[in-house]
Amino acid sequence: MKKKSESLEKKININFKNKRLLDQSLAHRSYLNEHPEFKLGSNERLEFLGDAVLEFISSLLLFKKLPNHPEGDLTNIRSCLVRTSTLAEIAKGLDLGSYLLLSKGEEDLGGRENQSLLANSIEALIGALFLDQGMDIAQKFVLKLIRPKLSEVIKAKKFKDPKSLFQEAIQAKKKITPQYEVVEESGPDHNKTFTVALLIEDKLQAKGKGKSKQEAEESAAKAALEKLENKS
C-alpha cells in the first residue's frame, strides 16, 4: 500500500503531509470487507468533499474565463467538466485505477476500469489533497486537470449534454418536457447498473443504461436524439 501511494505522489508531483489521507482516498469500500485491518475507512467521505471542491474550482474558472457566457451555458459547461465520463478520462490519464485499493471481487469485475468508480476516486483524491494542503494547492492540481478538458468542450461545443439537446428539440416541436423513469436496477450495491426509460406523453422513446442514474438518462437521451435525427 505504501509503495502504491508513494508512486502516485511521484506521478502527481505532490507529497502528502498526512499519508493516511492519501491512502484513504484510494480505498474503495469493497476493500474494507476483505481487509478489516485497514482502519481508515473508505474514500466515500473524501469523495463527498472533493466533489464540492471540484465544483467550486471549476465554477470559479468558468466565471473568470468566460465573462460573456450566460449562467445557463456556464452550468452546462461545468456539467461537462465534472460528469462521470470526463472525470473517468482524467483518472485514466493519471492511471489512477492501478493505485486503487479494491477487493478481489471488485477487481475481477473490472473495477479498475469502471467509469463511476474512477470518477469517484478522482474526487476523493481532490478531497484528500484539499484537507492535506489547502485550497491553493488543490486548485492548482484541479486546474491542471480540467483546463485541457475545458478547451475540448468549448472547441467542440460539447457543453450541451444529450438531455439538454433532446429537451430543446422536443420542446421546439411539441412544447413538452420529457420524463425519465428508472425501470431497472441490477448488480450489487457498490456496482449497480441503471436502466432508464425516456417518455414523451407516457410513450416510450428510448432506453439507456449507465452506472449512475444520470449516466443512464444521458444514454437514453442520446438514443432518442439519434432517432429524431434519423427521422429528419
- Are 137 and 205 within one domain? no
- Are 148 and 211 within one domain? no
- Are 50 and 100 within one domain? yes
pLDDT at 157: 65
Burial of 168 (0-12, 13-18, 19+ CB in 10 A): exposed
pLDDT at 202 exceeding the cut of 60: yes
Task: Work out the mean pLDDT of the chain and round it to a whole number.
Answer: 90
Calculate mean pLDDT across residues 213-232. Answer: 85
- Are 59 and 135 within one domain? yes
**72 band by pLDDT with thresholds 50, 70 and 90:** confident
Calculate mean pLDDT across residues 187-199. Answer: 91
CA neighbor of 112 nearest in space, from 36, 208, 31, 216 = 31
pLDDT at 35: 85
- Are 97 and 17 within one domain? yes
- Are 121 and 180 within one domain? no
- Phi and psi torsions of 198, nearest 5°: -100, 125
pLDDT at 162: 82
Domain that holds residue 167: 162-231
So which residues are the catalytic ones? Answer: 51, 123
Tally of domains within the chain: 2
pLDDT at 29 exceeding the cut of 80: yes
pLDDT at 142: 97
List the 193-200 sheet strands across, edge first. Answer: 179-186, 193-200, 203-210
pLDDT at 121: 96
CATH of the domain at 82: 1.10.1520.10
pLDDT at 170 exceeding the cut of 90: no
Q: pLDDT above 70 covers what percent of the chain? A: 96
Q: Name which residue leads in pLDDT, 6 or 160.
A: 6
pLDDT at 196: 97
- Are 198 and 144 within one domain? no
pLDDT at 24 exceeding the cut of 90: yes
Calculate mean pLDDT across residues 38-54. Answer: 94
Last residue of a domain, one of 105, 136, 156: 156
Are the C-beta atoms of residues 30 and 43 closer than 8 Å to each other?
no
- Are 19 and 56 within one domain? yes
d(CA 217, CA 194): 9
